[in-house]
Structure 1
């Protein structure tokens, strides 16, 4: 409070009228924020306090509509005046959305003639969605086991937040720092991560998916992969061999087909020849069969024939000699 008094002291000495705001505000959609505000004025009685947004009032805050008016019967429910009519002019804005991204100003009126004052410039408020961003040790490639990385819960319009709550696959993670650190990530850390302001779960960010690849892989998976690859090569090889075999077999089948056609043609031709020719051929076949049988019976080795002839000659000589001697 002492610091605020010191800040306002120059205003009191110079004009006696002043409004002091907090710094520009970056709010998360779905949250509630308070615009801190104080005001001073010469000796008088404050009768009316107002808050306006710059858009509808073209920056002057002199015309309706006001987001808050102490004399209005009904004000916008998102805006609640939590100050007073002496020095505190703070305004609470709840359930913030994108339409609240504007500049806000405080205006007050006293019972003194001309005793009206608007704090210029006002306080600017930007509304943004929480999001999760990632930084890691390796810039390129997939996230693998052993990598180090950080997940940061942030708003684009501001720096790091004070306190947040983290979720993994929708389950609360016991970590309140805006930065979630993985010094050596594992496959179990795979999942969808989101964050929100600690007091406002309605500000939860979109999920950020992390998939960690296990490069080493389990032996079972590796064996399965190698087996499948090997099986694929074997199947391809078998198909190629079968195709090659079928290619070599095709001419033989054609030759058998041609031979069958040729044999059929000959049979047909023989059937169509005269009966005499057919009988002649049958006779020749019988003769050839007789010759074969004869040859198989009478053909003897040459030496045996010569020996048999010599024996017969000797027998004839012996008989002739006997006859002559008689």
Structure 2
């Protein structure tokens, strides 16, 4: 009888030890903006049992998540149950864990109905192998929350430096786009962080951010002033580059046009000079001299004078008149 009582006592102690070793560790309470995605971090430790081979852990075959149920009864509605293929009733809940020790759960597209406390439960092949974490994890869903801008650095900002502005809030807004503004004008960036640098005077202004299409989440303005320093070498803009190229092309066209005009003018002057050369004086082939000799050759000392006449030419060149121009021809008599 004493031997049997001892075996029962030892079995009870092992059973109690196995039950005590089972535990579930939840993450801190989670706050999420409506429409965003949150992750509930969770780990668990299965219980142990004693076999002929020694102490071994229970094999977990079923994992469940439920709302507002401390022990997460399987007879009550659940948000996730791995025994339900693809979990058709709750497609927004995705189990990120396994049956070994990770029990994390992801909730996407948060809705007001997700504002609750969620609990995890594990089950094995025996009744003593099930366990539910009673603490649970609190999920808070908010529709309106004011954003806040944090800077990667404090102090004054100078030209050429860089800074990162982060749009944040106490609640998670994962997978929700952020709209950034500078002096009320929307910027193209949509991420939770805005990187600026190298800073210029144009980056100065009041920055605000909010969740896209949710004006009620607009943050307080963050003032960014970039100190005036030494003038930075101006970076050529597209307009400047285009202007320079057009100016060079116009200058080349003008030069080519001037050269063409000069060449044509020279060719015209050359043709005109050629025309004038043809109209100039020719050898005096039109001058005829008529030498008349009086009598026979016998009169040695007789000299006769022949008058010379100039004929007018048909060209436009003025005729030079030779007043009283007489060409004398001397005829030497034969002796």
- Structure-1-length-normalised TM-score: 0.43
- Which has more helix, going by share of residues? 1
